[in-house]
Structure 1
Amino acid sequence: MSELPHNWVKTPLTNIASVEMGQSPDSRFYNLNGDGLPFFQGKAEFQTVYPEIRKWCSEPTKVVERGDILLSIRAPVGPTNIAPEKSCIGRGLAGIRSETGISQAYLYYFFKNIEPWLSEQGTGSTFAAVSGQFIREINCPVAPTSEQARIVAKLEELLSELDAGVAELKAAQIKLTQYRQSLLKAAVEGSLTADWRTKHKPAETGAQLLERILQERRARWEAKQLAKFADQGKAPPKDWQKKYPEPLEPDTTDLPELPHGWVWASVDQLSESVRNGLSKTPNTDQRGFPIFKINAVRPMIVNFLAIKHIEIDKSEASDCWVEVGDVLATRYNGSVDLLGVFAMVKDVPVRTLYPDKIIRMKPVTGAGLGKWMEVCGNVGLSRKHLVARVKTTAGQTGISGEDLKKTPIPLPSVEEQKYALAILEDRLQSILELELPLEMAFKQSTAQRQNILRAAFSGQLVLQNPDDEPASILLERIRAERAAKLELKKPSSRKAKVSV
């Protein structure tokens, strides 16, 4: 940063503002019916400028006034909002109020400027946090009062223009997302390939394909059972084939009629196996075999960089390596939007295991069927089935293996699947090519915002006026006013007379 203008000063925050550290009241004083003051706990309630009021507190401990800056001081450190009215704050927040002569808006934008730096300052083994002393000692560049007003006005002008541009980018992004979802939905409902069906007669219908898959599924089970008997040196017992576990069928009671030649199937019917992964706790220091984190699975994406490691014997890992064609689904996730989403393994750059919180489906006929299951599982009635069966147990939001096995999959012929997937691949690539410039524009707007803020607090955004009262005189006046207030608060030195 260049040197500050000559009539600016740099001083610790404590010299120009008061800092109120939050403290969470007893939970018995919380309520959702508007009794007491709005109660804010941290970043989770923050919005663009003002936090969302979700609860109230009838017996507040730490209170901020309307317009005070709310600074998140733990998990994460740095984000800011403004108190919309007199409020109670919990220990995840600090309230900051400027002294007379220091613009509250100027101070708010200053914290917006240093947010990236603040985000790296937190310490702690459980979660990142900063102390009240740390906040009070933050060095703040102080401009003359009149210049503060000019800076705020210029910032609001430039940032409002930037916000308008970002709003347009977000609108375009939403439209692309909606188009992508409508495209996927059209594929699994058959409207995407309606013209194709009028001109082509496939070699087998969806019902015939399902029958072939079920026969292959049973044949593979029998082959595995015979292999086990052989390894044990035993002859197959009488009627051993009767122990074949029939796959769960979809409940078609409320499902709509499918296009001609299609049939409803279940995930279980289409999969050779559906099973959870390893339940042993992984580590983060790269000891043992790589194993996926939960966030490795996103709709139609498997991220081989999102891994931890696990120390187990090779024999324990033998059946938990992912392979090309496997379809993975998240069994647990804090967000319902990411719970139960499907993603097919399209490549295996590094041999990797999958954990207990992910379910692996092995499509009977391989990657071709896996691609179709991947699309269906993320949209339409298949997705609706999963979302409707989300359960919360012991604080964890998840879906059961049985509910996932029963997930209905609309099944057309192989030829129609291939045609629909080819159209999807082409159009999804076009969407991606439109999304990449948007992502670049978002990054550029973020960088531009930081450049504007950086210029503001280095004295480069507006012109200096030599007639402005220097900030040094402003600080002296703040010190004098504080001293005067302190003097008024001191108790009288006279001793009270005692009557006898």
Structure 2
Amino acid sequence: MSEWQFVRLGEVCTKITDGTHHSPLNGSSGDFKYITAKNIKPWGLDLTNVTYVDQKTHREIFSRCDVRKGDVLYVKDGATTGRVALNPLEEEFSLLSSVGVLRPGPAVRAKYLLYALQEPQTREKMLADVAGVAITRLTLRKLNDALIPLAPLACQDRIVEKIEELLSDLDAGVAELKVAQRKLIQYRQSLLKAAVEGELTAGWRAEREKRGGIAETGEQLLERILAERRRRWEEKQLAKFNEQGKKPPKGWKEKYPEPVEPDTANLPELPEGWVWASIQQLASDAPYSLAIGPFGSNLKVSDYSDQGVPLIFVRNIRSKNYGGNFTKFVSVSKALELRSHSVEAGDVLITKMGEPPGDADVYPADQPPAIITADCIKVRANDDLIKPHFLAAAINSLVGKLQVLPITQGVAQKKVSLGRFSTIAVPIPSLDEQEEIVERLQSACCQSECVDKELISLGQMCIAQRKNILKAAFSGQLVPQDPNDEPASVLLERIRVERATQKLKRKPKTPPPLGEGARRAGEGAATKKKSRL
């Protein structure tokens, strides 16, 4: 590889700049596209959610950053720093400062530069230079000074051709994996839909009918549980009156806080014996059975510790992962203060925030009591009415999702309040059928998880293979090295000489003729000089 040379990006790019440092007014319509880091994806420039700016704003931005087709766009700020894309657009567009522009010079091919910036070692070294706390940044100076391995031009062409040949096959495999993963997601949703609408256990119900039917249907079950709940409330009220030595006032039973009934107008028809119930109706009537995480100052980062009672975050619910090295805790005394937000095994946890919110999971039996944090909802269900895993399945199903979506609010962050969430409808079959559904779901989910793990493993292998291809390419091992290629050092020197020669050939500008006043001033100065002599 004696023909190769490490060079600074500033040596091989004729321009390195970035977009505007002031976020302009932008929207879904306008005169020119406005590209930010969110539009730079692993597969290239993505205009799916592009916004626009007006012509005046664009002219101000474009005068500094005139992006052209074939420029390399490099994310230099934020969480996705290091992503690159080749600009395929003929049209002008505006750019935010989070994206850098690298214009390849005559010594480097655009696609070679694109792949060189993705090479693992080069990428790692560049990311090591980022600075910042809230938002990490790679400055233009550091971008200029970043090193890439430069091959001879002819070799660059061979490398790009070989990379694209190999990546084409690899990308086809990745595309097939993504299709398989999407189908797996669809399968899971279909399974949940069949479970909560009764299709999954239609055969089971038919068999039970042959053997005498179901002892207590979901409809009868709900009616009984709600009646028992009201009776317990009345008994507590009477006990309070007795303690106080008072006679129950007229109409005291009318003050019973009746749980809200669900709106079933747009919901699917349920099998005979099933019934819809609201979250309020199926929650336990014990204190704090419906709760959200503590507000603001009630739980601060300064309250976190390395041991004690674990905290549960949105990320735990989404990943179904609890405990582990990254767990945060609060002290036992702090947990007592926050006991209204406590979580026990079997509680159903729901994300209150997200895109969209409403992901549900059951807190596992092998985990200790915990405290939910902000943006989490806890439902402690009445176990005599609904099984926790069936409730979680209903919330995660399309039936649940379609109810959560309309009650979600917010722009930057989508959230659902506990009050609105507690009104959504959940189907209630008999307890025996719930147990049958949960068993079938768990069996099917176990199989799908095995498939999912295999797909993830194959995806990781593809990522590793991509890295290996790029490593081999930029270490001179992917394509044969031709000793007849013009070495990179000679190429760079030739380009320097050509540029210097072009500068010398430029004719100096002829100064404009002197005006009459200036000519007389010059003559006067000459006369004064002679008189002094």
**TM-score, normalised by the number of residues in structure 2:** 0.84
Q: Which residue of the partner structure matches residue 522 of structure 2?
A: none
Q: Give the stretch that moved more between structures: 85-94 or 481-490.
A: 481-490
RMSD: 2.8
Equivalent positions of 1:418-429 (< 5 A) are: 418-429=435-446
Q: What are the ranges of 5 or more consecutive residues in structure 2 without an aligned counterpart?
A: 518-533
1:166 to 166, 170, 174: 174
Q: Which residue of the partner structure matches residue 205 of structure 1?
A: 217
3-state SS of 1:291 partner: strand
How far did residue 166 of structure 1 move? 0.7
CA distance in 2, matches of 1:255, 1:473: 74
CA distance in 2, matches of 1:41, 1:190: 47
Q: What are the ranges of 5 or more consecutive residues in structure 1 without an aligned counterpart?
A: none
> In the alignment, is residue 401 of structure 1 matched against residue 418 of structure 2?
yes
CA distance in 2, matches of 1:440, 1:370: 31
2:456 to 439, 453, 457: 439
Q: Residues 158, 79 of structure 1: CA spacing in aligned structure 2 closer, same or farther, 3 A cutoff? A: same
CA distance in 1, matches of 2:8, 2:433: 69
Q: Which residue of the partner structure matches residue 380 of structure 1?
A: 398
How far did residue 499 of structure 1 move? 3.5
CA distance in 1, matches of 2:259, 2:501: 82
Q: Which residue of the partner structure matches residue 77 of structure 2?
A: 74
Q: Residues 91, 365 of structure 1: CA spacing in aligned structure 2 closer, same or farther, 3 A cutoff? A: same
2:4 to 2, 8, 17: 8
Give the letter for the 1:145 counterpart: L
Q: Which residue of the partner structure matches residue 348 of structure 2?
A: 327
Give the letter for the 1:6 counterpart: S
How far did residue 48 of structure 1 move? 1.2
CA distance in 1, matches of 2:238, 2:494: 91
How far did residue 349 of structure 1 move? 2.3
How far did residue 143 of structure 1 move? 0.3
Give the letter for the 2:16 counterpart: V
Q: Residues 236, 351 of structure 1: CA spacing in aligned structure 2 closer, same or farther, 3 A cutoff? A: farther
Contact in 1 for aligned 2:282/2:385 (Cα 8 Å): no
1:150 to 155, 158, 183: 158
1:271 to 267, 275, 283: 283
Equivalent positions of 1:215-230 (< 5 A) are: 215-218=227-230
How far did residue 298 of structure 1 move? 2.0
How far did residue 347 of structure 1 move? 2.5
CA distance in 1, matches of 2:231, 2:40: 55
Equivalent positions of 1:50-449 (< 5 A) are: 50-52=45-47, 54-57=50-53, 58=55, 59-60=57-58, 61=61, 62-76=65-79, 77-85=81-89, 86-113=92-119, 114-200=122-208, 201-218=213-230, 238=248, 243-272=255-284, 273-279=289-295, 280-283=298-301, 286=305, 289-298=309-318, 301=320, 303-305=322-324, 307-310=327-330, 313-333=334-354, 335-336=355-356, 339-365=357-383, 369-392=387-410, 395-449=412-466
CA distance in 2, matches of 1:242, 1:117: 71
CA distance in 1, matches of 2:232, 2:379: 15
Q: Which residue of the partner structure matches residue 42 of structure 1?
A: 37
3-state SS of 2:205 partner: helix
Q: Residues 218, 486 of structure 1: CA spacing in aligned structure 2 closer, same or farther, 3 A cutoff? A: farther
Give the letter for the 2:184 counterpart: L
How far did residue 329 of structure 1 move? 1.2
Q: Residues 473, 367 of structure 1: CA spacing in aligned structure 2 closer, same or farther, 3 A cutoff? A: farther
Contact in 1 for aligned 2:407/2:421 (Cα 8 Å): no
Give the letter for the 1:102 counterpart: V
CA distance in 2, matches of 1:35, 1:286: 52
Q: Residues 7, 314 of structure 1: CA spacing in aligned structure 2 closer, same or farther, 3 A cutoff? A: closer
Q: Residues 291, 243 of structure 1: CA spacing in aligned structure 2 closer, same or farther, 3 A cutoff? A: farther
Q: Residues 26, 441 of structure 1: CA spacing in aligned structure 2 closer, same or farther, 3 A cutoff? A: closer
Q: Residues 44, 350 of structure 1: CA spacing in aligned structure 2 closer, same or farther, 3 A cutoff? A: farther
CA distance in 1, matches of 2:238, 2:378: 24
Q: Residues 314, 448 of structure 1: CA spacing in aligned structure 2 closer, same or farther, 3 A cutoff? A: closer
CA distance in 2, matches of 1:237, 1:487: 110
Describe the superposition over 1:32-69 as per-residue Cα deviations: whole angstroms up to 9, x where unpaired: 44513x22111345361223161233233122111111
